[in-house]
Chain A
Amino acid sequence: MSNLPPNPFVSQPGANANPVQAFNHNQYAQVPLGQLPPGYGGLKDNNSNSPLHGTISPQNNAIQNINNFNQSASSSPAFNQPGLVQGGMQGSPMRPFPQSSKPLNQISSPSPVFVSNPNPYTPNYQPQKQINDNVPPLVPPSQHNQPLVNGPPLAASMPNPTSSSYSPVPPLNRPPVGGYGPSSINQYGPAPNTKPSGPQSLPIQHSTQFPGPPLAGPTNIGTSVPPVSRNVGPSVPGPLNPPYASPISGPVTNPPISGPHMGFSVNGPRSNALPPNSAVEARPVGLNGPLPPVSGPPKQFSSANPLPMMPSVSSPPGQPYLNQPVSQPGLNSNIGSNVPTALIPPMNQNIPVNQQAGPPSGPTGGPLKSNMQSRYPQMPQASYNQQSAPQQSTKYPQQYNAQGLTQQMGQLSVTKQGFDQLWGHHMIDLLQTRHILPEYPEDPPEIKLGHQFADSPNCSPEIFRCTLNKIPETNSLLQKSRLPLGILIHPFKDLNHLPVIQCATIVRCRACRTYINPFVYFVDAKRWKCNLCYRVNDLPEEFQYDPVSKSYGDPSRRPEIKSATIEFIAPGEYMLRPPQPAVYLFLFDVSQIARDSGYLQVVCDVLMSNLDQLPGDARTQIGFICYDTHVHYYSMGEGLARPKEMTVLDIDDIFLPSPESLLVNLGERREAVCALLGALPARAAPAPRGPAPPASALGAALQAAYRLMAPTGGRITVFQTCLPTAGPGALHSREDPNARSSKDVNHLNPATDFYKRLALDCSGAQLSIDLFLLNSQYSDLATLSGMSKFSGGSVYHVPLYSSARPQHVRTLQRMLTRYLTRKIGFEAVMRVRCTRGISIHTFHGNFFVRSTDLLSLPNVSPDVGFGMQLTIEESLSDLQQVCFQAALLYTSSKGERRIRVHTLALPLASTLPEVLHAADQHCIIGLVSKMAVDRCVSASLAEAREALTNVAADALSAHRLAQNAPAAAPGLPAPAALRLLPLYLLALLKRKAFRTGTSTRLDDRVADMCSLKCLPLEQLLRLVYPALYPLHALAPPAPPHDAPCPPRLHLSAERINSNGAYLLDDGECMIIYVCHGVAPAFLADAFGVSAHAQLGDEGRALPRLDTEPSALLHAFIDKLNDDRPYASEILILKDNSPSRHLFLERLVDDRVESAFSYYEFLQHIKSLVK
């Protein structure tokens, strides 16, 4: 620890002087320290232990662009590495109480020692929040448990967001047309005559709610819903979300509406007999029947009794649905959720007329992201459309009238849909749903286990996800569904709340070695049944002990049983050798191209400033090797005032000149290291010593690194700028620049297995190689990436790097800072166990597969994810559930052996529709992209592209089969759970990795493939389908949020309005696209320029101004940066910038010369669906 003195977190390694500081969460603070058993030291993961935690967000805001993300902060070595366990203390890294004699006395207690989160034992412990705590709750807690797709409650809740204006039943299939605000209004236009004028007038006269109901009328009418459909409404059980009620009531209090309840009903306004309003409502009436009955006394509708409602409501077809299912409390919620959406549209502010609508948005802003809306995006969209109608008409000229009409006409079997909905089986006609992308992030589909485990905490979807949330019972059922079955794991993710346990024996199944987890079955108090192999095991005596009450009994109170993600501090039997120290070796390319690029200065500077943050303990070692055509070693041993360079000329038979002084202890030889880092860039500077050799002997340097590090293991970081052309592992250029846009791409396979063999050797020696490729010309990444791929490393690629470009420098700095300071696990292995009957077919990611279920990961980092394809080998029909357990055994940088265990349990499905509707489309995209990369390498790019297209066609064919629909049925129906599949697949096909026809450098393509293979799902999705947000009218955030939440837009030019500004975020770069018609006031407030022309063609910095729009914009960007490893680069483009194609080429829904538009792609899929 001596090397980390300045670090505040580490300064309290064993004994924490200030307990409250360590536990800044209230829960922890509440635990009386005296109650804690001796072992209770670091109740939380090292991650969360640091006092810094609570303060992260404020800090971030202040620091702005560079460090405003929790991740990096929480993963800083200091957080993660609690420090060496102090002598007799049970290895709890950070004790909440002073290391006084008191805990020591207690140590003698017989109990297993816990170094665990106190959470489980405190009354207010919420298992759900354990993992995700760093994320601001998107959803009110009460909604957490709502089933996403399944079951009656869901169905019931559906109508809520829609508000009275919508029929709960068909919404999914239908008017989503309107999807995202702008265009929607006019869709309804054609059908009922009065429409256009109606909606527009509405908002002007009244509060936001009004527009909703009237519009709804037309919608339903347009669809010509048969009366039957109404039955669906009542059949839906009526649970509502009371939580909604309160927020809603605020805004609802419009004069016309007599009470909160009435707000939702169509009748409310009518009863008030407001002239303008009634005019509007006459529309529905006119179509369906006489007005008077419809507008009966408001009480009738709003009153609690559903029966009377039926008849009266029936005249306007739209309302019945809403009112009935919604019943009292629900009604309110409708409004509540409705209103905010409506208000979101940025355009509101621009239009004076709408200002009225504005105010309510403040209070209601909270529910903006309510589950409902995010889960049923279409409906909120629709409602949004209605209310924003006027704005659209003014601002968005293009409309989709005809389409909206046909869509509505298309919904014929409404009853069936109603029942489908009841069971969570929504369908959507893709061809007619124009706005399919949810505006707000959706929760991943919820997993509903059988009642026995219904309350058991499942693994967080951010860590562990399966492509099918219900596992098919048999392989034939899986084949019928034609969906890929697999899991995605992000095992070493930085977590804020992670229970850490230390005990004498870790309870595991004797047969299959599964760790005890929340899904085991306790036969009696002494025995448990393994949930993977079903063996009955004995429970050790000490597992009965409940450390809080200090009593024996109920084993289910143990943290192992209460949390699906848990970390054990492993006892001695989990070590093959003493835990290794943290050893870092840096390899720098100093050939001519490297000197030209000037990267070395940047890297050395970053390295020097982060030396203290390198994860490690007092044993940390560091070393450097440079190479051009020769290999240069730097000896920094004792007795040397300055580092000594030794050059080895014989690169074909590499040797180490003085092995003992090349790797030095960072703490002891810090001055020497700093001196070297200061001197290196100058040594490699272009001028003084004449031109450097043009060749680079990477292979030889790697061999030297291997020899140097093999005895200890550790991390080798390679900075390469060109093709290695000298010594072992020399390569020659394989890329034909003229064939960059050709259809068939060659050379995706390695040219030699030199790097792979080296990586395997490294893997055996617990060495991992990370490659930073900063190339300006072809460097054969396909071959070079082998060194990282099979040694558990990562590849970072900055194409065309040049230190002359500040954006490259910034990117490299951020990348490197994160890389150097993030948590690291050494000599790791990960084993993934599955319930008997399921086995792992293929692994995806960077590692070496050592046996059928064991991955060897010499290093593991928090920024990588893994994928596994599964096969069902025997029938699972007699099982209740299927479990997967991933156990990651690693050595922390503090020399502790730890095991992190994640357990996921999934229910089974016996029918095809169940399987299809329980699919997790995002996870499927994640897995499929990895499979496609494999296919590219093993077969060809063309085959991979075809396979990607077939994924969608297969899934939809299976759905058609499940529906028993005729082959020639119109439209392209898709289960709601798979509705985004074609959209994402199309975007995937347009990724650099898979695109054809567009000029793509081979290295860029391969780098993209590497990242698809090992990025965690969330980042991967952002990369595949970047988020596009309108910026020109960011609404101030509502209280629960601290940043604006603009809706996400489709990546299509039709969303780009000439008087708007947009932000496109793909995780690597945020492009702000400013159109020429944007309001000058906005330009002045946000960018500090008075006219569009004054903006630079390619801005790289967003000024921080003292205006509200600027503050909002920065708050928004900071929020986006929050959940990624390092902040994204900002690029400001104008719509007449020469480089605007950087933005336009990301609009993947649109047609480009060589690729389909989204609609064409759907047509293509339709032709493939059989």
Chain B
Amino acid sequence: MAFSFPAFAYIVALITDAFLIFFSIFHVIAFDELKTDYKNPIDQCNSLNPLVLPEYLLHLLINVLFLLSGEWFSLLINIPLILYHIHRYYTRPVMSGPGLYDPTSIMNADVLTSCQREGWIKLAFYLLSFFLYLYGMIVVLIAA
């Protein structure tokens, strides 16, 4: 039973994906708190912004592994999200620090809802891909 590189990639992806799921849960909760006035937007942005780049990088890491291991299908599924992340970061408001969220515009109802929706969609995506990676890992291991 050889422990192939694809298998390694899937195992890493599984662990990373679990982190991503936590990230998006945190994201959803944070925006819910904003909506219900539990938190000050400045504080909330200060806690959200440092997490944006790590999330994107983790996601990128998975895909680099997939690329190297030649898991094209898994990679293909993730490409739209990568593109979205790049677009999102490219069009972020003028900020000196890292991050996406600007406390002065985040309370706009449109921004709030779209961010929250984004959180839910990502959560669903990461959950589904978690099972996909699990399946992929098993397939790779069995094939080996």
Write the residues of chain A forming the contact surface with B, with a CB cutoff of 8 angstroms.
749-754, 756-757, 760, 764, 790, 839-843, 848-854, 871
Proximity bits, B71-115, A CB within 8 Å = 1, else 0: 000000000000000000000011110000011100111100000
Shortest B52–chain A CB gap in Å is: 16
Contact B94 A851 (CB under 8 A): no
Q: List 22 A-B contacts (CB under 8 A).
A: A750-B94, A753-B94, A753-B102, A760-B42, A839-B109, A840-B109, A841-B108, A841-B110, A848-B103, A848-B104, A849-B104, A850-B40, A850-B41, A850-B107, A851-B40, A851-B41, A851-B107, A852-B35, A852-B37, A852-B107, A852-B109, A871-B109
Contact A757 B96 (CB under 8 A): yes
Contact B94 A749 (CB under 8 A): yes
Contact B109 A841 (CB under 8 A): yes
Complex CA–CA separation, A752 to B97 (angstroms): 11
Proximity bits, B13-50, A CB within 8 Å = 1, else 0: 00000000000000000000011010011100000000
Complex CA–CA separation, A750 to B107 (angstroms): 19
Contact B96 A753 (CB under 8 A): yes
Which residue on chain A has the smallest CB distance to residue B36? A852
Contact B108 A760 (CB under 8 A): no
Complex CA–CA separation, A840 to B107 (angstroms): 10
Complex CA–CA separation, A750 to B110 (angstroms): 21
Complex CA–CA separation, A760 to B46 (angstroms): 13
Complex CA–CA separation, A842 to B110 (angstroms): 8
Interfacial chain B residues near A764, Cβ < 8 Å = 42
Number of interface residues of B (CB under 8 A): 17
Interfacial chain B residues near A851, Cβ < 8 Å = 34, 37, 40-41, 107
Contact A760 B104 (CB under 8 A): yes
Query: Known pairs A753-B94, A756-B104, A848-B103. 6 more at Cβ < 8 A?
Result: A764-B42, A849-B41, A851-B34, A851-B41, A852-B35, A852-B37
Complex CA–CA separation, A686 to B103 (angstroms): 43
Complex CA–CA separation, A506 to B17 (angstroms): 53
Interfacial chain B residues near A751, Cβ < 8 Å = 94
Select the residue from B34, B94, B104 with max chain A CB neighbours within 10 A.
B104
Complex CA–CA separation, A757 to B42 (angstroms): 10
Contact B42 A842 (CB under 8 A): no
Shortest B23–chain A CB gap in Å is: 24
Contact B96 A754 (CB under 8 A): yes
Which residue on chain A has the smallest CB distance to residue B40? A850
Which residue on chain A has the smallest CB distance to residue B111? A842
Interfacial chain B residues near A849, Cβ < 8 Å = 41, 104, 107-108
Complex CA–CA separation, A851 to B112 (angstroms): 11
Shortest B101–chain A CB gap in Å is: 12
Contact A854 B108 (CB under 8 A): no
With A752-B94, A852-B37 in contact, do A760 and B107 touch (Cβ < 8 Å)? Answer: no
Interfacial chain A residues near B35, Cβ < 8 Å = 852
Which residue on chain B has the smallest CB distance to residue A761? B42
Contact B109 A842 (CB under 8 A): yes
Leading 9 A-B pairs by shortest Cβ distance: A849-B107, A851-B37, A841-B109, A753-B94, A842-B108, A753-B95, A753-B96, A790-B104, A750-B94
Secondary structure at the B interface, as helix, strand, loop or mixed, is loop
Interfacial chain B residues near A850, Cβ < 8 Å = 40-41, 107
Interfacial chain A residues near B40, Cβ < 8 Å = 850-851
Interfacial chain A residues near B104, Cβ < 8 Å = 756, 760, 790, 848-849
Which residue on chain A has the smallest CB distance to residue B104? A790
Which residue on chain A has the smallest CB distance to residue B108? A842
Shortest A54–chain B CB gap in Å is: 45
Complex CA–CA separation, A754 to B108 (angstroms): 21
Complex CA–CA separation, A871 to B37 (angstroms): 18
Complex CA–CA separation, A850 to B45 (angstroms): 12
Which residue on chain B has the smallest CB distance to residue A842? B108
Select the residue from B34, B42, B109, B110 with max chain A CB neighbours within 10 A.
B109
Shortest A183–chain B CB gap in Å is: 47
Which residue on chain B has the smallest CB distance to residue A756? B104
Complex CA–CA separation, A871 to B35 (angstroms): 15
Interfacial chain A residues near B93, Cβ < 8 Å = 753
Shortest B26–chain A CB gap in Å is: 20
Complex CA–CA separation, A843 to B34 (angstroms): 16
Complex CA–CA separation, A357 to B33 (angstroms): 71
Complex CA–CA separation, A180 to B39 (angstroms): 57
Complex CA–CA separation, A853 to B104 (angstroms): 14
Interfacial chain A residues near B103, Cβ < 8 Å = 760, 848
Interfacial chain B residues near A754, Cβ < 8 Å = 96
Which residue on chain B has the smallest CB distance to residue A841? B109
Complex CA–CA separation, A840 to B35 (angstroms): 12
Interfacial chain A residues near B110, Cβ < 8 Å = 841-842
Interfacial chain A residues near B96, Cβ < 8 Å = 752-754, 757
Shortest B76–chain A CB gap in Å is: 33
Complex CA–CA separation, A939 to B95 (angstroms): 18
Shortest B124–chain A CB gap in Å is: 24
Complex CA–CA separation, A853 to B110 (angstroms): 14
Complex CA–CA separation, A80 to B102 (angstroms): 37
Interfacial chain A residues near B42, Cβ < 8 Å = 760, 764
Interfacial chain B residues near A756, Cβ < 8 Å = 104
Complex CA–CA separation, A1077 to B95 (angstroms): 59
Proximity bits, B111-128, A CB within 8 Å = 1, else 0: 000000000000000000
Contact B37 A854 (CB under 8 A): yes
Complex CA–CA separation, A849 to B107 (angstroms): 7
Complex CA–CA separation, A842 to B18 (angstroms): 36
Shortest B75–chain A CB gap in Å is: 34
Interfacial chain B residues near A749, Cβ < 8 Å = 94
Complex CA–CA separation, A842 to B37 (angstroms): 16
Complex CA–CA separation, A839 to B113 (angstroms): 13
Shortest B116–chain A CB gap in Å is: 13
Which residue on chain A has the smallest CB distance to residue B96? A753
Interfacial chain A residues near B109, Cβ < 8 Å = 839-842, 852, 871
Which residue on chain A has the smallest CB distance to residue B45? A760
Which residue on chain B has the smallest CB distance to residue A751? B94
Complex CA–CA separation, A841 to B114 (angstroms): 13
Interfacial chain B residues near A848, Cβ < 8 Å = 103-104
Which residue on chain A has the smallest CB distance to residue B38? A851
Complex CA–CA separation, A603 to B72 (angstroms): 70
Complex CA–CA separation, A852 to B107 (angstroms): 6
Shortest B107–chain A CB gap in Å is: 4
Which residue on chain B has the smallest CB distance to residue A870? B109
Complex CA–CA separation, A839 to B112 (angstroms): 13
Which residue on chain B has the smallest CB distance to residue A850? B40
Complex CA–CA separation, A369 to B85 (angstroms): 61
Shortest B19–chain A CB gap in Å is: 29
Shortest A134–chain B CB gap in Å is: 36
Complex CA–CA separation, A839 to B109 (angstroms): 9
Shortest B13–chain A CB gap in Å is: 36
Which residue on chain A has the smallest CB distance to residue B106? A849
Complex CA–CA separation, A854 to B109 (angstroms): 13
Complex CA–CA separation, A850 to B93 (angstroms): 19
Interfacial chain B residues near A852, Cβ < 8 Å = 34-35, 37, 107, 109
Complex CA–CA separation, A471 to B109 (angstroms): 20
Complex CA–CA separation, A751 to B94 (angstroms): 7
Complex CA–CA separation, A1068 to B17 (angstroms): 60
Interfacial chain B residues near A871, Cβ < 8 Å = 109
Complex CA–CA separation, A206 to B102 (angstroms): 72
Interfacial chain B residues near A854, Cβ < 8 Å = 37
Complex CA–CA separation, A871 to B112 (angstroms): 14
Interfacial chain B residues near A842, Cβ < 8 Å = 108-110
Select the residue from B93, B103, B110 with max chain A CB neighbours within 10 A.
B103
Complex CA–CA separation, A850 to B104 (angstroms): 9
Complex CA–CA separation, A750 to B93 (angstroms): 10
Complex CA–CA separation, A841 to B109 (angstroms): 5
Shortest A204–chain B CB gap in Å is: 65
Interfacial chain B residues near A843, Cβ < 8 Å = 107
Select the residue from A757, A848, A851 with max chain B CB neighbours within 10 A.
A851
Interfacial chain B residues near A839, Cβ < 8 Å = 109
Interfacial chain B residues near A753, Cβ < 8 Å = 93-96, 102
